[in-house]
Amino acid sequence: MQPFPPRRVLLSPNRQELRTVEPMKPMKPMEPMKPMEPMKGMEPWWPKDLGQPATSGAQNGMKYAFFPDKHRLLIDRDGQVSTYDSGDHRIGGVSQADGSGQSLTFSSQNGDVDLGTLKKLG
């Protein structure tokens, strides 16, 4: 004796066949999700002795980080890090006049500051 009665099954528009078709089995309950692993933050690209920057950012292959307590502005262009003395400027943001990163201007409490006006230390 078959557990389920035979049913007519349509194989094609012109042909039918008598086959045993089982009803769908109930789905298993979902297992609880495993907790996500915390994302690992990026390692800082600046020297650790400078601490945390007051502001930092990146665009067009260029990164910057400003450390007001140390009066330092660091620029990373394609892996080449340069250090500048920021003087009394408190850097808040950056703009690239030509979009290529060749002409960098930073905003400060004294207005815009062209990177070329800052003393390069290394």
pLDDT in tens, 38-47: 888 778 899 9
End-to-end CA distance of the chain: 89
4-23 in b/e burial notation, b at 16+ Cβ within 10 A? eeeeeeeeeeeeeeeeeeee
Q: Which amino acid is at 98?
A: D
pLDDT in tens, 64-111: 999 999 999 999 988 899 999 998 888 887 776 555 546 788 888 888
Has this prediction a pTM greater than 0.75?
no
Q: Look up residue 46 and give its two tokens.
A: 């600046």
Per-domain residue ranges for the chain?
A: 53-120
Q: Are 17 and 9 in contact (CB under 8 A)?
A: yes
Query: What pLDDT shows up at residue 89?
Result: 87
